[in-house]
Amino acid sequence: LPAPDPADPAGLDDLLSEDEKEVRSAVRQMLDASAEPYIAEWFENGGIPNIRELTKELGSLGVLGMHLEGYGCAGMSAVEYGLACLEIEATDSGLRSLVSVQGSLAMFAIWRWGSEEQKQEWLPQMAAGDAIGCFGLTEPDVGSDPGSMQTRARRDGDDWVLDGRKMWISNAPYADVAVVWAKTDEGVRGFIVPTGTPGFSAPEIKHKLSLRASATGELVLDGVRLPASAMLPEARGLKGPLACLNEARYGIVWGSLGAARSSMETARRYARERVQFGKPIGAFQLTQQKLADMSLEYTKGYLLALHLGRRKDSGLLRPEQVSIGKLNNVREAIEICRTARTILGANGISLEYPVIRHQNNLESVLTYEGTVEMHTLVLGQLLTGEPAFR
Ligand code: FAD
C-alpha cells in the first residue's frame, strides 16, 4: 500500500468520483489564476475591484446556481456543489459568500418560488454572472427571529409598495436585483426588486473586520413601488426564506472546511520550515498535537459534509441535519484557524499568510445563516422534543 498523503491522511479522496474530482480541480484552477494572488489585497482594501468580471468568470465556470436545473444553470450534484464551495472558501469566505448568496439565496428563491416568467427573466443572466443578486431578510432590529420583521408590503391598486430597512445584506452594494422579504396582510411574502427602482438604495456597511472581500450593505426601501408580477407567487410565510437559508447553509457545511484546510495546510508547511531551539517547530510534541487535532477535526467534518451531501443527492436531507453540519463544521473550522494561528506565532496575525483572514472571516460565518446558538437549539429540540427558542 502507498503511504498516506499528509494533506489527506485518512484517504478521503477515495470517496469521490472522477467527475467530482474534475469539478474540484476546475474550480481550483480558476481561483488560482483569478483570485488567489489578489485575495489578501482585496481583503485589506475592503472590496474586489473587478467584481463584475470575476462574477462573470464564476458564471462561465458554472458555479452560480450550480446545483439548480434548467434556465442556464449547471444542474450539478449537491456533492459537486459542496466541493466547489470548499475550494472557493479555501480562497476566501467572502468569495464563497458571493457565490452562496447568488446561487443558494437569490437564484434559489426565484427557482423554487418564482413564476415561469420570473425564472426566464432572471435565472439565465444570474447563472451567467451578468446580473448579481442579493437576499434581504435581516433587519436592524430583527436577526435570529425573522418572524418579527418590520418591513411592510402593502397593496396599492395592482401594485405593491414596500417600506422598511434590511441590514447586513451581502452583495447589496453592487447587486442588480434584490430578493426582499416583507410582511403583508397575508403574512411574509418575497419580492423581486430591481435595484434601480425609485425609493431603493443600498449603502455599504463600512468598518467590518471580517468578510472584507465581500461587500455588505443596508437595503433602504422608501415607498418602493413594484408591479404585481414582482411577488414570488409560490412562497407563503417564513418557509419561503427558510428554504433558501437551508440551501445556503448546506454550502457553508462544505465551505467552512475550505477555510480550515487552507489554514491547516499553511500551519503544517510552516511547522516543517520554522526552526526554533535548533529544530523545526513541527518536531515538538506540542506542535504535533495541534496538527493532529486539526487534522482529526477536519477529517470528521469532511465525512459529515460528504454524508449530508450524499443524503441531499438522494433527496433525504432534513433541515435539522443541515443544522448539525453547519454547527459542527463552522465551529471546528474556526477552532482549526485559531490553532493554526498559534503555530505561525507573530506571522499568524499578518495578512502575508491566509490564516488570520480566514479566522476573521469565519466570525461572520459563525453568525450568519443561523448563529451557533440557533443551530444548537434546533439540535436541542430534535434531541428532546422541547423547543427552547423563546
Ligand atoms: P441576534 O439575532 O440579535 O443575536 C445576537 C446573539 O443572541 C447571538 O449570539 C444569538 O445566537 C443570540 N440569541 C438570539 N436569540 C436567542 C435565543 N432565543 N436563545 C439563545 N440565544 C439567542 N442577512 C441577510 O438577510 N442576508 C444577507 O445576505 C446577510 N449577509 C450577512 C453578511 C455578514 C458579513 C453578516 C455578519 C451577517 C449577514 N446577514 C445577512 C445577517 C445574519 O444572518 C444575522 O446577523 C444573523 O441572523 C444573526 O442576527 P443578528 O446579528 O441580528 O443577531
Taking only the tens place, the pLDDT of each residue in 51-63 is 999 999 999 999 9
Tell me if 149 CB under 6 Å of ligand 1.
no
Q: What is the mean pLDDT of residues 193-208?
A: 98
Give residue 67's pLDDT: 96
The closest-lying atom of ligand 1 relative to the alpha carbon of residue 374 is 11
- Predicted confidence (pLDDT) per residue in 341-370, tens digit: 999 999 999 999 999 999 999 999 999 999
Tell me if 169 CB under 6 Å of ligand 1.
yes
Question: Is 369 one of the catalytic residues?
Answer: yes
Tell me if 170 CB under 6 Å of ligand 1.
yes
Distance CA 78, CA 98 (A): 18
Tell me if 13 CB under 6 Å of ligand 1.
no
The closest-lying atom of ligand 1 relative to the alpha carbon of residue 210 is 34
- Predicted confidence (pLDDT) per residue in 74-132, tens digit: 999 999 999 999 999 999 999 999 999 999 999 999 999 999 999 999 999 999 999 99
Q: What is the mean pLDDT of residues 146-156?
A: 98
Note the Cα 13 to chain centre separation in Å: 23
Q: How far is the CA of 166 from the centre of ligand 1 (A)?
A: 12
Distance CA 302, CA 296 (A): 10
How much of the chain exceeds pLDDT 90, in percent? 100
* 343-348 contacts at long range (C-beta below 8 A, 24 or more positions apart): 343/267, 343/270, 343/271, 343/281, 343/287, 343/290, 343/291, 344/266, 344/267, 344/270, 345/274, 347/270
User: 340 with 264: CB under 8 angstroms?
Assistant: yes
SS3 1: coil
Q: How many CA atoms lie within 13 A of 322 on its CB side?
A: 22
Binned at pLDDT 50, 70 and 90, residue 214 comes out as very high
Tell me if 101 CB under 6 Å of ligand 1.
yes
Other CB atoms within 10 Å distance of the CB of residue 94: 26
- Predicted confidence (pLDDT) per residue in 244-295, tens digit: 999 999 999 999 999 999 999 999 999 999 999 999 999 999 999 999 999 9
Tell me if 254 CB under 6 Å of ligand 1.
no
Amino acid sitting at position 287: T
Distance CA 329, CA 301 (A): 6
Tell me if 32 CB under 6 Å of ligand 1.
no
Give residue 9's pLDDT: 97
Q: Which residues pair with 169 in a beta bridge?
A: 217
The closest-lying atom of ligand 1 relative to the alpha carbon of residue 145 is 2
Residue 52, judged by CB atoms within 10 A of its CB (0-12, 13-18, 19+), counts as middle
Mean pLDDT, the chain, rounded, equals 98
Q: What is the mean pLDDT of residues 160-187?
A: 98
SS3 386: coil
Q: How far is the CA of 388 from the centre of ligand 1 (A)?
A: 17
The closest-lying atom of ligand 1 relative to the alpha carbon of residue 364 is 36
Give residue 204's pLDDT: 98
Q: How far is the CA of 170 from the centre of ligand 1 (A)?
A: 13
Catalytic, out of 20, 80, 89, 369? 369
Distance CA 20, CA 56 (A): 22
Residue nearest to atom 12 of ligand 1 (CA): 373
